[in-house]
Amino acid sequence: MKFKDFVIQFIITFVVAFIASAIVIFLYNLIIHGAGRFMWSISVMLAFTVGFAIPFSTLYTSKKK
């Protein structure tokens, strides 16, 4: 995998993880606390972690073959 492919996978994974975590956190706050609010810091941190981990693991496993 080239660097360009890694960056594209990172961006796609980051966006999907950010949207999913924002929705889940919003619904959690709405159901549990009764106040629908976003926790942007948690969503961004989770998206960066997942966005880096998944393409990196794909890169690592593709080099072993």
Domain that holds residue 16: 3-60
Domain assignment present for residue 65? The answer is: no
Q: What is the pLDDT of residues 15-58, one digit of tens each?
A: 999 999 999 999 998 999 888 777 788 889 999 999 999 988 88
**Count of domains for the chain:** 1
**Predicted confidence (pLDDT) at residue 2 exceeds the cutoff of 90:** no
- pTM, two decimals, is 0.81
Domain assignment present for residue 17? The answer is: yes
Burial 11-33 (b: 16+ CB within 10 A, else e): eebbeebbeebbeebeeeeeeee
Cα-Cα-Cα-Cα dihedral of 12, 17, 39, 48, to 10°? -70
Contact in structure between 4 and 46 (CB atoms under 8 Å) = no
Domain assignment present for residue 12? The answer is: yes
